[in-house]
Structure 1
Amino acid sequence: MAKQAKKFSKVIRDLESIIGAPVLTGPRDGELSALFVVLFGRLEGASRPSVLGRGELASKELVLAAPDAAAALRDGATPTSVGIAWLSGDTPHSQLRAVGEFGPRDGEVASEADMWMIELATPSTVGPVTSFANGWCMLFPWLSMCHKN
């Protein structure tokens, strides 16, 4: 598990250097806790949804799949929703968002298939999160936000 956490941290650092902005691990106004993000979906051949794994909120519309979720997606799982939870002081908050689009990073190198992005059908309302579409569109050109005018 520690090896996966280090691998995911490296993926996030690499993405941050490419897009030129931080990938969020929690709201940034100091009072809110870190975010807990989980992906739900159907494993290939399954009739019921299950937990596919964790993720990181990259913007109000995007969730970057952690290695456990990316492995499930690579094996044919279909994400259906994303749960987001956090604390504001002692008050718990949660959101459930449907999945719009999802897919791996475009590229020919095998390691690029380990990076999966999930686009939310409706944006999260968690804190002051900004979206840097140009950077994400370089890595994931299939995102619908890359085709809006």
Structure 2
Amino acid sequence: IKGPFKQGRKIAQIDEDEGITLVQMVTTAGAEISTASPKDKTTETSDDSDDITLAETLIGIKRSVTKPQKKGKGVLVEEELVKVKRRDQGLAQIKSDAELAQRLYEEELAEVDRAQKQRQKQEEATIAVLTEEFNEIQARIDADHELAARLIYKEQEQFITEEREK
């Protein structure tokens, strides 16, 4: 907010501008003056406590709903609009695009890293399964080899015993 010595200049500038007019606050509220005299009552009024209560309630509601309005007194403050140059808009757009590109790059990098870790886990699991199968097959081969060696030994013993008997 600028100093008070410049406020007069703004009003002078407004006065010079024909398109702008200053508005003065005019109050039209005042006491009503009536020259009519009270009329004589020709009918009897019934005192209805419900009607009075309803009227009082409506008046109370109206008073609570109405809010004090601003009087319009004060200093007119003009806010200076900050114009954003196209160059600044372009730079801001470039900056936001660069941030978006960096974020997307990091997300893709994280996705690639996650995929590599998953692939490595799958390879390790495959290697473990293949190693287990290899060990089982090797155990069968060893058992078959041992069985074959026994059979050969038995056949040789049988052959030797048959040869001796001859």
Larger fraction in strand: 1
Per the TM superposition, whether the score is higher than 0.5 is no
TM-score when normalising by structure 1: 0.20
* Structure with more of its chain in helix, by fraction: 2
TM-score for both structures, normalised by structure 2: 0.18
